[in-house]
Amino acid sequence: MGLNTLFKALGDDTRREILRRLARGDMAAGEIAAAFDLSWPTISHHLSVLKEAGLVQDEKKGQYVIYSLNTTVFQDIAGWLFDLLGTITERQPAKKGEARKENGK
């Protein structure tokens, strides 16, 4: 759902810790909430941010809601990284003695 939403979702310790736990295996919402020193509604909110970003999926199993990691979005991050790093390597290496002088005096 866009790199913006994605990076914003990743810019929070609690949310990254949730992802780390989900990487070890699926968990119910309450199980996740129990692992933190925050209220259930707060965790519920973080989960919805992660879901919005496509980083997790949820599935209702009886009275539980099981959350799992969605790894496909990590390709978006990797793709963005490669694009950027690719652009760097594309640029002409400046000849000796005139390195990076376009903007200087």
The residue among 70, 68, 52, 50 whose CA lies nearest residue 60 is 68
End-to-end alpha carbon distance in the chain: 43
- Does 78 contact a second copy by CB under 8 A? yes
62 φ, ψ (degrees, to nearest 5): 65, -130
66-81 burial, b if ≥16 CB within 10 A, otherwise e?
ebebbeebeebeeeee
**In the range 75-94, which residues lie near DNA by CB under 7 A?**
none
40 makes contact with a second copy (CB under 8 A): no
Query: In the complex, what is the shortest distance from the CB of residue 7 to a second copy, in angstroms, rounded to a whole number?
Result: 4
| Nearest-approach distance from CB 41 to a second copy, in angstroms | 20
Determine if 100 is a binding residue for a second copy (CB under 8 A): yes
Q: Which does 60 bind (CB under 5 to 8 A by kind): a second copy, DNA, none?
A: DNA
Give every strand in the sheet of 27-28, ordered side by side.
Answer: 27-28, 64-69, 56-61
- Please give the residues from 43 up to 72 whose contact with a second copy meets the rule CB under 8 A: 61-62, 64, 66, 68-69, 71
Eight-state DSSP code of residue 64: E
Site for DNA, rule CB under 7 A? 8, 11-12, 14, 28-31, 33, 37-49, 58, 60, 62-65, 105
